[in-house]
Structure 1
Amino acid sequence: MEGTIIQKHRRKYTVDSNGNYYSCILRGRLFRDFKRNKNLAVVGDEVLFEVINNNEGVITEIKERKNKLSRLSAGRPDLEQVIAANIDQLVIVSSSKEPDFKPGLVDRFIAAGEKGELEILICINKMDLIDSGEIEKYVNLYRKIGYRIVLTSAVSGTGLESLKKEMMGKKSIFVGQSGVGKSTIINTLQPGLNIDVNEVSSKTGKGVHTTTSVSLYRLDFGAYVMDTPGIREFSLWDIDKKSLHYYFKEFRKYINGCKYSDCVHINEPDCQIIEALKKGEIPLERYKSYRNIYSSL
């Protein structure tokens, strides 16, 4: 039988096959491979499996992935963590307030999405907490670069129909820091899912982790969504100082015009990125993000 991994619990996987759910383990050879490679099977992977007892099965084959979203594994600078596979769209969920909008984190997610060749959508939630003019600077910035943006409020329902339209017919993954409302939005889009949610800490102003693992949900309006645990930091995988500029798409048309082929656009003479920055053709906020990420690599 064929199916899709929708949840992973240590060594067990929940597989969806045409709306029927099976608790599966890896067949012996795959399990031995898993011991060496923890990214062998992740949420979103398409698999072949055999039913062995009612709703239990054994995964016999993992199909080739069309893409993946990865990050640097926490505490392991040499190890990749594949968050999910076979994704159509990366939805970067941020909030206007509680917690505050963090463009630097958004730009890290964008770089990871560009690396994975994913469609990118930015969702700014909790618009009920501010006047829309307070976030307009960033909305205009990202739209000018070419990224789609939806402004939502899971409380008032503002923008949720627009978000639905962007998600229809796609398999989207929601990413963002803790407390921005990823799970709340999904619960609002699909009443009855009852994904656990939590409030932002009144002491720290930071989100409290509620979602603890990646889960894939089938939505009634013709979409799939992956909910992911909230994070406070996102370290990039397989992006180094020399390649970072490729994942800032507004940089690309200037890169080959630099005097030096190995220019990293920091202090080099005749750098076309810096010239474009001076002319206002590249946003200062994005260039600052580039410099900050560059320094962290």
Structure 2
Amino acid sequence: MGRRYDYDESRIGVRPNPKGNRPRTKDRPAHADAVIGMVTGVDRGRWTCLVEGQPVVAMRARELRRSPIVPGDRVGLVGDTSGADGSLARIVRIEERSTFLRRTADDTDPVERVLVANADQLAIVTALADPEPRPRMVDRCLVAAYDAGMHPLLVLTKSDLADPQEFLKSYAGLELSYVVTQVRDDGMIEGLGELHSALADRMTVLVGHSGVGKSTLVNVLVPGTDRAVGHVNAVTGRGRHTSTSAVALELPDGGWVIDTPGVRSFGLAHVDPDSFIDHFPELAAGTDDCPRGCTHDDEYCALDAWVDAGHAGTSGRARLESLRRLLRSRLGTEED
């Protein structure tokens, strides 16, 4: 009788490897044959990309599952790029971005959200009345534009309800580009020609809180778009969100506009507070006499004397208050 623990190698079972015997590797295919397209919209896990003028629906490759892909992105596509009904390509690569606009939910949220990519102009749409303008929101968008390396443009709507010059006084020191518009009784928009000129041959992002007339402008700029138009609540004075996702639209005379959903906050947690002063050029030179470690919001700050001496122009005090409001909000020391 053999010993109980004598084993024969032929009797040992080997568990099969369901994934095969090839060693795992982190190397990914280069996809040298990928065609380049531009993302124009996102809807429920599918991206619409424009490839040589043809819209192509695509999904995201597994290796990009944690990478945000947004309107304006230039991407590499493989698979069925014919654009035929029912076809589905695959996004395998995101090309290098020239710019990307970001925001956070608030000034303490560590998670930043990329809104659009490769735009060179940020059009900040704000109504002069109904709803009332929100200068602090405009300031935040300006800081985000400067941080992203984008050219800011103010688009003021409903000029028939308020004088635009009163609002523009606060920004005289920045020498901002702006366009003033209003919807006439016949449905036409005054100032449309100037707006077309400001948008021509550029990739422009439109941002603004709900109810300012952003979708109305888009529907006129790109006929047939049919972006939903909201209304301002008579009690709260706020607009209702109508656009639910960002979409890139080609202008008939050249250029692109990217319409984004209305926002009620524009967090700047991704922007270094020490860099805020760089986005207020009429104040930056006044910091030379600030003490070491100055936050630009304390009693020893040299900016007060700089502004009082008139070096920052007639809007210097208002701009200094804007800077300090942003700093306090960003640092969580004051509600915006």
Normalised by the length of structure 2, the TM-score is 0.80
Aligned to 2:137, which of 105, 108, 112? 105
Tell me whether 1:289 sits opposite 2:307 in the alignment.
Answer: no
Tell me whether 1:46 sits opposite 2:74 in the alignment.
Answer: yes
Partner deviation per Cα, 1:189-226 (whole Å, 9 max, x = no partner): 22211111111112221111000111100010111000
Instruction: Name the CA distance, whole Å, in 1 between partners of 2:40 and 2:108.
Output: 26
Mean CA deviation greater in 86-95 or 241-250: 241-250
Aligned to 2:307, which of 277, 280, 283? 277
Partner deviation per Cα, 1:136-173 (whole Å, 9 max, x = no partner): 13324424322111111144411111011011010000
Tell me whether 1:17 sits opposite 2:48 in the alignment.
Answer: no
Mean CA deviation greater in 90-99 or 11-20: 11-20
What residue ranges of structure 1 are gaps of 5+ in the alignment?
A: none
% of aligned pairs identical? 30
Tell me whether 1:153 sits opposite 2:182 in the alignment.
Answer: yes
> Are the equivalent residues in 2 in contact too, given 1:43–1:85 (CA < 8 A)?
yes
Change in 2 beyond 3 A, CA 1:160/1:21:
same
Name the amino acid aligned to 1:273: L
The structure with the largest alpha-carbon Rg is: 2
Give the superposition deviation at 1:293. 1.3
> Are the equivalent residues in 1 in contact too, given 2:290–2:303 (CA < 8 A)?
no
Runs of 4+ in structure 1 deviating by more than 6 angstroms, as ranges, are: none
Mean CA deviation greater in 99-108 or 74-83: 74-83
Give the superposition deviation at 1:184. 0.5
> Are the equivalent residues in 1 in contact too, given 2:156–2:178 (CA < 8 A)?
yes
Instruction: Name the CA distance, whole Å, in 2 between partners of 1:74 and 1:278.
Output: 32
Partner deviation per Cα, 1:221-240 (whole Å, 9 max, x = no partner): 11100001111111113224
What is residue 291 of structure 2 aligned with on the other side? 260
> Are the equivalent residues in 2 in contact too, given 1:154–1:184 (CA < 8 A)?
no
Tell me whether 1:144 sits opposite 2:173 in the alignment.
Answer: yes
> Are the equivalent residues in 2 in contact too, given 1:93–1:176 (CA < 8 A)?
yes
What residue ranges of structure 2 are gaps of 5+ in the alignment?
A: 1-34, 331-336
Normalised by the length of structure 1, the TM-score is 0.90
Change in 2 beyond 3 A, CA 1:213/1:74:
farther
Instruction: Name the CA distance, whole Å, in 1 between partners of 2:61 and 2:108.
Output: 28
Across the two proteins, how many residue pairs are aligned to each other? Answer: 286
Tell me whether 1:224 sits opposite 2:253 in the alignment.
Answer: no
